[in-house]
Amino acid sequence: MSEILRLIIEIQGTVQGVGFRPFVFRLATLLDLKGYVTNNKSGATIEIEGSSELLDRFLGRLYLQKPQHANYLKISLQQKEPFGYFDFKIKESQQDGEIKVHLMPDISICQNCLKELKNPKNRRFNYPFINCTDCGPRYSIIKALPYDRINTSMANFIMCPNCKKEYENPKDRRFHAEPISCPDCGPRLMLRKKDGTILATGFDAIKGAAKLIKRDNILAIKGIGGFHLVCDATKSLTVNKLRQRKRRILKPFAVMIGTISEALKCAEISELEKDLLNSIERPIVLLKKRKPHRLEKFCIACDCIAPGIDTFGLFMPYSPIHKLLCDAIKIPLVVTSANISEEPLCKDFDELCKRLEDVFDYVLDYDREIINPVDDSVVFVLDDKPVFIRRARGYAPAPIRLPTKLEKKILALGAQQKNSIAIAFDDLAILSPHIGDLDNLATFDRFCKNIEMLREIYEFTPDLVVIDKHPNYIYRKYAKELKFELLELQHHYAHALSVMCEYGLNEAFAITWDGSGYGDDGTIWGGEFLDIKKGDYKRVLSFDTFRLLGGEAAIKEPKRVALSILFDLFGDDFFIINELLPNGFKEDELKVLFLMHKNGLNSPYTSSVGRIFDIVGALFGSIYECSYEGECGMRLEAMYDSECNDFYDYDIDGFRILFKPIFLKMIEEKDIIRSVSKFFNTLAKIVFDSIKDVNKPIVLSGGVFQNRVLCKKIIELLKEHKKEFYIHQKVPPNDGGISLGQIYGAHFLSLNGD
Ligand code: ZN
Ligand code: ZN
Ligand code: FE
């Protein structure tokens, strides 16, 4: 018989809210080992004794059989004299110590819970809040760590005897499932009128909601991270009613669909896309629209849901509420965040009624508080890998491993658009979920709350705060008032660093194309080629600049940048323009704009590729005014002819790409599809030409690289010539990924002895 030993095992990482302690308990009891397991702020501690042989087996299985969502970042072992434990226990969580444990994202309903939900003999049959240690809300309901019920918005619900039995039974799959509940003791689902009157509760509320939706009502439904507006996706009239009420004219809506086979009726879906739709994160997946066959009976109202583009966003029900609703209604549903334009989504009934009273007809509500609102995530597949457009529910705020250990604690404030903030310590970065555009007051408020929340939960005080170089970013004042050391980083450099961080690169040739970012020379950059080495960068190539006629207004109205280019090309002969931008401007408006262009009045220079897409959109897609960001790019994608391989020649003068003459050739082309297709090919050619002689890793970042058509073309070219290149996988290529880059940039500067 081998010697009796006692081991103290400390585990850091994602070990709370994932069924870790019950797993350890079961394993220890199975092997007849004694001791205990407990949660603490740094993760979990196991103290365990038995024969060395059995302990070996225990350790082996601790790795091999770990719970699905558990993630061990660090394990330390200590050997001690045997203590003489009689049994194996799960001890109360310890509140002291330094925080090393991590916040878990919300997890979609698991297979076991799904089975119970559908089983009439189960006591949670049709129960809209079913969950277990493998699934259910996490981030959205948590106030503090460790992840115990008392620290969540489930604290107000007293467990009934049956739930308590399960919660305390280590052999039960709901052992220490913190949000455990049942129809007797849990949150209550309510179908309500606008005045608050309750029409039905529990599963009856679901059935009632389904009926109301079928009768063309618009419902506000409380999901995991906030309210959604929901309506029948099969009827154009209803979808358009929602558009009018929400004042959202063209921006595509996401659709929730019950099964993959239904989804296949309206979209082309690859294996990977299928996996993403079914994944535990359940993001919205952007898919290519499928043309319905002529005699096909059911199809969603595609043209109202995503007008003028050839993709749309689909997702599968992720919470039991959504699952029950989908099964009850059996038709696809438009599901869009309950907000007006870019405001944050509403998180409770009062807020909903205050802000959106005229938008919805009825509400499907429940009485568990959402502590941390979180949007749906959005992804698309590129080169057989998922790329984020928005990183939120299901993913954030899971930590991102950094390629290096940081010396300082860093808070990164990200960018002004599509903001996401990050805190970083040791070798980890924790990015908040997508927050949004900070020029909106309500969103800015959420920005502040996210920072406070992460700082509080992680008991985090930064040594350094990283901000964007832009002098007019709204958070500047806030950042100064924090009174920590500030570091400014250039926007496109941060974009590049963000990909480099994902892959642990120290040097790179970066192509960063986006809408706009403040440049080192005070102009607006957005079509940059940067040579990056050891924490420093050199701008080696850029697009020829053009004026944004009217500044900010030019971003919302592509016809203004188009006019600006026409003035550049034709000068005084601008009478021709009337023909090129028919009905774009009134006669006297043109005269004013011409003077503005000539004198540079409120018309800053930019090298933005995002705006170049706008020029093409206005001239060749008649998109004079954008109703949502990125509209031109998306609508031009739909015009691309993949059979066309031609491109336009262009010149480079020193370090400027002279692209303007391309527009003359495009105008001469006559065939619009051909000119748009050649435009895409030309951009890909520009990328390829720029890296031909580069012997460094190539990184691509910036919102423009969310354009699937352009990316596909570039990847084709780079692969054909066996060029090593890197695109984002962990964070979005758009400004949502900036905070990660800012952290990496701060790290490089500290290496350089700054
Ligand atoms: Zn479950
Ligand atoms: Zn109960
Ligand atoms: Fe950007």
Q: Which ligand is nearest to the CA of 733?
A: 3
Query: What share of the chain in percent tops pLDDT 90?
Result: 81
User: 495-499, 520-524, 575-579, 680-684: which has the minimum mean pLDDT?
Assistant: 575-579
Report the separation in Å between the CA atom of 373 and the middle of ligand 2, taken as the mean of its atom positions: 26
Is residue 400 pLDDT above 60, yes or no? yes
Query: Residue 582: is the preceding peptide bond cis (ω within 30°)?
Result: no
pLDDT of 175-228, one tens digit each? Answer: 889 999 999 999 999 999 999 999 999 999 999 999 999 999 999 999 999 999
pLDDT at 102: 78
Q: Is 753 within 8 Å of 509 (Cβ atoms)?
A: no
Q: Which ligand is nearest to the CA of 133?
A: 1
Number of H helices, E strands in the chain: 24, 32
Protein residues with C-beta less than 5 angstroms from the ion ligand 1: 110, 113, 132, 134-135
Q: Is 657 within 8 Å of 543 (Cβ atoms)?
A: yes
Query: What share of the chain in percent tops pLDDT 70?
Result: 97
Tell me, what amino acid is at 551? G
Q: What's the number of CA atoms in the CB half-sphere (13 Å) around residue 556?
A: 5
Is residue 277 pLDDT above 60, yes or no? yes
Report the separation in Å between the CA atom of 203 and the middle of ligand 1, taken as the mean of its atom positions: 19
pLDDT at 99: 61
The three-class DSSP label of residue 581 is: coil
Report the separation in Å between the CA atom of 167 and the middle of ligand 2, taken as the mean of its atom positions: 10
Is residue 16 pLDDT above 90, yes or no? no
The CA angle 498-500-506, to the nearest 5 degrees, is: 135
Q: Where are the alpha helices (DSSP H) in 458-572?
A: 476-482, 491-503, 552-556, 558-570
| pTM recorded for the entire structure | 0.91
Q: How far apart are CA 15 and CA 10, in angstroms?
A: 11
Q: Which ligand is nearest to the CA of 528?
A: 3
Is residue 91 pLDDT above 80, yes or no? yes
Phi/psi for 588 (5° steps) reads: -70, -30
Residue 516: which pLDDT band, with cuts at 50, 70 and 90? very high
The three-class DSSP label of residue 486 is: strand
Q: Is 24 within 8 Å of 100 (Cβ atoms)?
A: no
In total, the chain counts a number of residues equal to: 754
Report the separation in Å between the CA atom of 309 and the middle of ligand 3, taken as the mean of its atom positions: 23
User: Residue 378 is encoded by which pair of tokens?
Assistant: 């959005």
Report the separation in Å between the CA atom of 296 and the middle of ligand 2, taken as the mean of its atom positions: 46
Report the separation in Å between the CA atom of 122 and the middle of ligand 2, taken as the mean of its atom positions: 13
Q: What is the 3-state secondary structure (H, E, C) of 351-391?
A: HHHHHHCCCCCEEEEECCCCCCCCCCCEEEEECCEEEEEEC
Which comes out higher in pLDDT, residue 73 or 676? 676
Return the exposure string of 711-736: e unless at least 16 CB atoms fall within 10 Å of the residue's CB, then b. Answer: bbbbbebbeeeebebbbbebbbbbbb
pLDDT of 607-653, one tens digit each? Answer: 999 999 999 999 999 999 999 999 999 999 999 999 999 999 999 99
Residue 98: which pLDDT band, with cuts at 50, 70 and 90? low
User: 140-149, 373-382, 615-624, 679-688: which has the minimum mean pLDDT?
Assistant: 140-149
Report the separation in Å between the CA atom of 322 and the middle of ligand 2, taken as the mean of its atom positions: 21
Helix 20-30 to helix 52-64 angle, to the nearest 10 degrees?
Answer: 150
Which comes out higher in pLDDT, residue 615 or 42? 615
In sign, the C-alpha dihedral spanning 343, 345, 346, 352 is positive
Which comes out higher in pLDDT, residue 313 or 574? 313
Q: Which ligand is nearest to the CA of 111?
A: 1
pLDDT at 2: 73
CA distances to 127, 129, 162, 448 from 184, in Å: 10, 12, 9, 38
Q: How far apart are CA 401 and CA 498, in angstroms?
A: 13
Report the separation in Å between the CA atom of 436 and the middle of ligand 3, taken as the mean of its atom positions: 13
pLDDT at 503: 97
Phi/psi for 405 (5° steps) reads: -90, 130
Report the separation in Å between the CA atom of 112 and the middle of ligand 1, taken as the mean of its atom positions: 6
Is residue 577 pLDDT above 80, yes or no? no
Q: How far apart are CA 439 and CA 473, in angstroms?
A: 9
pLDDT at 578: 63
Report the separation in Å between the CA atom of 251 and the middle of ligand 3, taken as the mean of its atom positions: 20
Is residue 508 pLDDT above 80, yes or no? yes
pLDDT at 302: 75
Is residue 452 pLDDT above 90, yes or no? yes
Q: Is 271 within 8 Å of 255 (Cβ atoms)?
A: no
Q: Which residue has the tokens 């503005």?
A: 596
Residue 559: which pLDDT band, with cuts at 50, 70 and 90? very high
Report the separation in Å between the CA atom of 495 and the middle of ligand 3, taken as the mean of its atom positions: 7
Report the separation in Å between the CA atom of 110 and the middle of ligand 1, taken as the mean of its atom positions: 4
pLDDT at 97: 61
Residue 576: which pLDDT band, with cuts at 50, 70 and 90? low
pLDDT at 751: 80
pLDDT of 678-725, one tens digit each? Answer: 999 999 999 999 999 999 999 999 999 999 999 999 999 999 999 999
Average pLDDT of the residues of the chain:
93
The CA angle 106-306-728, to the nearest 5 degrees, is: 50
Element (H, E) at 284: strand 284-289
- For residues 257-264, give the mean pLDDT: 92
- For residues 659-664, give the mean pLDDT: 95
Report the separation in Å between the CA atom of 186 and the middle of ligand 2, taken as the mean of its atom positions: 6
Q: How far apart are CA 349 and CA 366, in angstroms?
A: 9
CA distances to 271, 301, 302, 696 from 259, in Å: 15, 18, 18, 45
Count other Cβ atoms within 10 Å, centred on residue 465. 22
Is residue 96 pLDDT above 80, yes or no? no
Q: Which ligand is nearest to the CA of 180?
A: 2
